[in-house]
Amino acid sequence: MTARWCGLLAVVAVILLIGGSEAAREALLDDYGEFLPHIRLAKDLMDPRRYDSRVRPVMNHSKPTTVSFSMSLYQILSINEKQQNVDLNVWAIQKWNDDFLGWNPYLYGMINTTILPFDAIWLPDTYLYNSVVMNREETERYINVVVTTNYWKGEKGAEVKFMYPALYRTSCLLDIRFFPYDQQACKLTISSWTSSKSDINYVPEYESVNMDNFLPNEEWVVVSFNVKRIEEKFVCCPEPWVLLEAVLVVRRKPLYYIVNLVIPTSVITLVAVTGFFTAASTSSERREKLSLGIDSLLAMSILMMMVSEQMPTSSDFVPLFGIFYLSIIFIIFIGTLFTAFILNVHLQKMYAKPVSPVISYIFFGRVSLFLPTFFSLV
């Protein structure tokens, strides 16, 4: 009995299912029993007999595909002096002609533009040559492509517009010689990895990168971001490659470093130097001058540690900031050294010893001759 009921239920379910898919199918059809135009268009364009996404879509295979490239800078995420790389958030647009996609809008309800998934069609293998990240999923986010038929231009095929956001981390040699008043130039080299000039020809759509949506960076000001096209031969192949070089020039805003490093060090140096000039009295020797010098040196080395944490370890040159610190340390060092010397001479009185002949010759015989001239000048 139950088995018969089950059988009946199954038959009803099958009938319902067929009816359901029939109804769904009907919804896709127009009044004449044909597929709706946009569905027909996608089906026809992606018909495997017609389109093969593995093949570069040109009628004449000797002709290169021209890919026009443009970019918008959205944000400078970070510039790492220590690792010598730069993180950028950009929006890229590539445009090219696909000779195999294209349709007559009169046959497809006057549709001029359609959107297709990126993996359904041929894409140029555009790659950022100096990227630090190898995996594409971690840098570029491919979504869809916009396809516009060339019918109205009187040509075959369609124009493909491929827009995607990208987080690029590129290596960039940062020259911190003039830190914190430095200006850096970082180059992004963009081209196809496998196709030479005879296959893909890149052209920059605009001379400079679009900055309309740029979120200002707290530390850096963008001076310029220009794209230029160059041709370069590589060791691998006789054919030249077309490269796009986008050069980002940024200047550091020095306020942070002036407030946090330059002013404190200058104040400490000033205090230390004036401290050395406090007069000694016969009652006490001002031995604190010695500890003042040692303490200032200690403060300097702590501040210097803060700077060196940011700096790349380079032995090729001494950055300006390093020279600044070194000279300040040198001044305090000289001050402390002379204090020790003067204290040494001064403290001889404890042992009731006379001034040593060498010192008495230097100061009473030589330096004293210059002192009147010096003071008359001042």
> Which of 366, 368, 344 is closest to 356 using CA atoms?
344
Least distance between ligand NAG and beta carbon 5 (Å): 54
Contacting range for ligand NAG; rule: CB under 6 A; set: 103-111, 180-188, 203-211, 280-288: 103-111
Contacting range for ligand NAG; rule: CB under 6 A; set: 106-114, 160-168, 226-234, 294-302: 106-114
Least distance between ligand NAG and beta carbon 123 (Å): 23
Nearer to ligand NAG, 25 or 63 (CB): 63
Nearer to ligand NAG, 105 or 264 (CB): 105
Name the amino acid, one letter, at 21. S
* Structure token pair of residue 198: 């005879």
64 binds ligand NAG (CB under 6 A): no
Number of residues that bind ligand NAG (CB under 6 A): 8
Nearer to ligand NAG, 20 or 109 (CB): 109
106 binds ligand NAG (CB under 6 A): no
Tell me which residues in 119-178 interact with ligand NAG (CB under 6 A). 152
Least distance between ligand NAG and beta carbon 204 (Å): 23
Least distance between ligand NAG and beta carbon 114 (Å): 11
- φ, ψ of residue 240 to 5 degrees: the values are -75, 155
Cβ neighbours of 177 (radius 10 Å): 15
Tell me which residues in 7-26 interact with ligand NAG (CB under 6 A). none
Q: For 198, what's the count of Cα atoms within 13 Å in the CB-facing half-sphere?
A: 8
Residue located via tokens 């040159």: 317
CA–CA dist 28, 14 (Å, integer): 22
Chain center to CA of 8: 67
Contacting range for ligand NAG; rule: CB under 6 A; set: 17-25, 60-68, 295-303, 327-335: 60-68
Which residues does 29 contact at the CB level (< 8 Å), separation at least 6? 35, 36
Farthest CA pair distance, the chain: 133
Q: At what angle do helices 320-346 and 263-276 cross, to 10 degrees?
A: 20
282 binds ligand NAG (CB under 6 A): no
Nearer to ligand NAG, 152 or 374 (CB): 152
186 near 170, Cβ under 8 Å?
yes
Contacting range for ligand NAG; rule: CB under 6 A; set: 10-18, 57-65, 185-193, 305-313: 57-65
112 binds ligand NAG (CB under 6 A): yes
CB burial of residue 352 (10 Å; 0-12, 13-18, 19+)? exposed
63 binds ligand NAG (CB under 6 A): yes
Nearer to ligand NAG, 37 or 165 (CB): 37
Exposure b/e, 298-308, CB count within 10 A at least 16 = b:
ebbeebbeebe
Nearer to ligand NAG, 111 or 297 (CB): 111
104 binds ligand NAG (CB under 6 A): no
> Which of 1, 66, 51, 44 is closest to 229 using CA atoms?
66
**E strands of 99-157, at which residues?**
113-117, 126-128, 144-149
60 binds ligand NAG (CB under 6 A): yes
> Which of 183, 202, 184 is closest to 192 using CA atoms?
202
Select the residue interacting with ligand NAG from 1, 23, 110, 350 (CB under 6 A): 110
Helix and strand counts by DSSP (H, E) for the chain? 8, 10
Select the residue interacting with ligand NAG from 2, 62, 104, 281 (CB under 6 A): 62
Nearer to ligand NAG, 62 or 313 (CB): 62
Residues that bind ligand NAG (CB under 6 A): 60, 62-63, 105, 110-112, 152
